[in-house]
Chains A and B, each alone.
Chain A
């Protein structure tokens, strides 16, 4: 995990997000560097998923700026589709396309957006499926897969556009306990390859082992951040201590 402190991948400054009258993100500022694995933890309703969804503008941003790879995505004229090609996302509920087989799930975007020919995309798709250990499931439809398999396909699908940032929104929360490991394993390998990752999760073990930095959010603010060692072994803020007492 080589973190390149020279290269800010995601620059967030005074980010505010409201749903109607409800202010979910109050004032978030943070820089995420190339190669970092940032794990965001916090109680439910703390705004951590919303924060993640603002990074690829799945949520409209109410205020502040988010600059990704030098592009200010809060600007209206930004080509958001082009931008999203470089930032993959994995969802809690997988969101695989049930009417397409596994390989087609992975190749849909590269083929449809004319990034690759069908043959190239399928070759690349098979490589990715092999990487997540599912090449024999290429022709299977998603409803026939287990939760862990679905999530691994979802990771392969997100990687198909060769993004240089990956966002994970509670990727293991909807899984049976025995399937959590296989998904985390794929994510670990991805981190080891130097992918810049932002992960919202409740997996403290994963955070300890893989994170280069842990952010603790509560009430729409970043309360505390630091290395896993700092956050988990020597938390400073009372709210962090309180939260960790409940989950550890």
Chain B
């Protein structure tokens, strides 16, 4: 255990930094994707609703590991051989980010849809009856209330996404699990290595959920 920590500790810490980088990139784009498709699903427009439903269903129906292989190996292959553009590759960070963003984005879209729909429709009507245009009413009246109910689910989704970065070890991104595998291969100390890795995840996720709790309490202040 001590040997792993002293010899490979810095390496694992660097790997954790890579994990966080990947999660952050993925979450950033996931928020954008989630917002866009979440709003598409609440608009009074059948075509928009359908686009959102298809996106969510497709992503939900495909395991993330398959999505990762598809993006990392499938897309460059397709671009190079079918479109005939040579030399197109995706780095494992790019592919990993895309994979996380799509996956997490689909779930975020569902959270955002549910959050908006949880706001009483009388709120939108009252705002519209005062002469506020649809988007103005959405931004001023509906979304601030929706976000409060969405926060716990969003935090939960963030944590799931952070853990899902481990799946991206399969496309060779040097995140924590991938690095740990190499450490085990060199040292054969699998019990110690995986215990250390588990504790590292645990610490980061515990900090994240604590910060989220504080944020949640801030947002709810003055509400009662």
**Interfacial chain B residues near A85, Cβ < 8 Å:** 130-131
Contact between A109 and B123 (Cβ–Cβ < 8 Å)? no
Number of A-B contacts (CB under 8 A): 67
**Interfacial chain B residues near A113, Cβ < 8 Å:** 131-132
B14 at the A interface (CB under 8 A): no
**Interfacial chain A residues near B178, Cβ < 8 Å:** none
Q: Complex formed: what's the CA distance from A160 to B132 in Å?
A: 13
Query: Which residue from chain A places its CB closest to the CB of B148 in the assembled complex?
Result: A99
Q: What mask results when residues 205 to 224 of chain B are scored 1 for a CB within 8 Å of chain A, else 0?
A: 00000000000000000111
Which of B125, B136, B148, B223 is the one whose CB lies under 8 Å from A95?
A: B125
Binds B, one of A33-41, A86-94, A180-188: A86-94
A245 at the B interface (CB under 8 A): no
Choose among B129, B141, B148, B222 the residue with the greatest number of A CB atoms under 10 Å from its CB.
B129
Which of B126, B128, B148, B222 is the one whose CB lies under 8 Å from A97?
A: B126
Shortest beta-carbon distance from B129 to chain A in Å: 4
**Interfacial chain B residues near A154, Cβ < 8 Å:** 126
Query: Which residue from chain B places its CB closest to the CB of A99 in the assembled complex?
Result: B144
Q: Complex formed: what's the CA distance from A158 to B128 in Å?
A: 11
Contact between A98 and B136 (Cβ–Cβ < 8 Å)? no
Contact between B131 and A91 (Cβ–Cβ < 8 Å)? no
Q: Complex formed: what's the CA distance from A87 to B128 in Å?
A: 11
A84 at the B interface (CB under 8 A): yes
Contact between B122 and A93 (Cβ–Cβ < 8 Å)? yes
Q: Complex formed: what's the CA distance from A82 to B136 in Å?
A: 13
Contact between A91 and B126 (Cβ–Cβ < 8 Å)? yes
Contact between B128 and A95 (Cβ–Cβ < 8 Å)? no
**Interfacial chain B residues near A84, Cβ < 8 Å:** 128-131
Q: Complex formed: what's the CA distance from A246 to B223 in Å?
A: 42
**Interfacial chain B residues near A96, Cβ < 8 Å:** 126
**Interfacial chain A residues near B128, Cβ < 8 Å:** 58, 81, 84
**Interfacial chain A residues near B87, Cβ < 8 Å:** none
Interface residues on B, range: 20 to 34
A133 at the B interface (CB under 8 A): no
B57 at the A interface (CB under 8 A): no
Contact between B129 and A112 (Cβ–Cβ < 8 Å)? no
Shortest beta-carbon distance from B219 to chain A in Å: 10
A151 at the B interface (CB under 8 A): no
**Interfacial chain B residues near A199, Cβ < 8 Å:** none
Shortest beta-carbon distance from B93 to chain A in Å: 39
Contact between A91 and B125 (Cβ–Cβ < 8 Å)? yes
Known: A97-B126, A99-B145. A141 touches B223 (CB 8 A): yes
A214 at the B interface (CB under 8 A): no
Shortest beta-carbon distance from B160 to chain A in Å: 28
Which of B120, B140, B222 is the one whose CB lies under 8 Å from A112?
A: B140
Which of A97, A112, A158, A160 is the one whose CB lies under 8 Å from B136?
A: A112
**Interfacial chain A residues near B131, Cβ < 8 Å:** 81-85, 109, 113, 161
A143 at the B interface (CB under 8 A): yes
Contact between A97 and B141 (Cβ–Cβ < 8 Å)? yes
Query: Which residue from chain A places its CB closest to the CB of B142 in the assembled complex?
Result: A97
A50 at the B interface (CB under 8 A): no
A56 at the B interface (CB under 8 A): yes
Q: Complex formed: what's the CA distance from A56 to B127 in Å?
A: 13
Residues of B within 8 A of A (CB): 120, 122-123, 125-133, 136, 140-141, 144-145, 148, 222-224
Q: Which 6 A-B pairs rank lowest in CB-CB distance, beginning with the nearest? A: A95-B126, A109-B130, A85-B131, A95-B122, A89-B129, A84-B131
The 30 listed contacts between A and B (C-beta, < 8 Å) are A56-B129, A58-B125, A81-B128, A83-B131, A84-B130, A84-B131, A85-B131, A87-B129, A88-B130, A91-B122, A91-B125, A93-B122, A95-B120, A95-B122, A97-B126, A97-B141, A97-B145, A99-B144, A99-B148, A99-B223, A108-B140, A108-B141, A112-B132, A113-B131, A141-B222, A143-B224, A144-B224, A157-B130, A158-B129, A161-B130
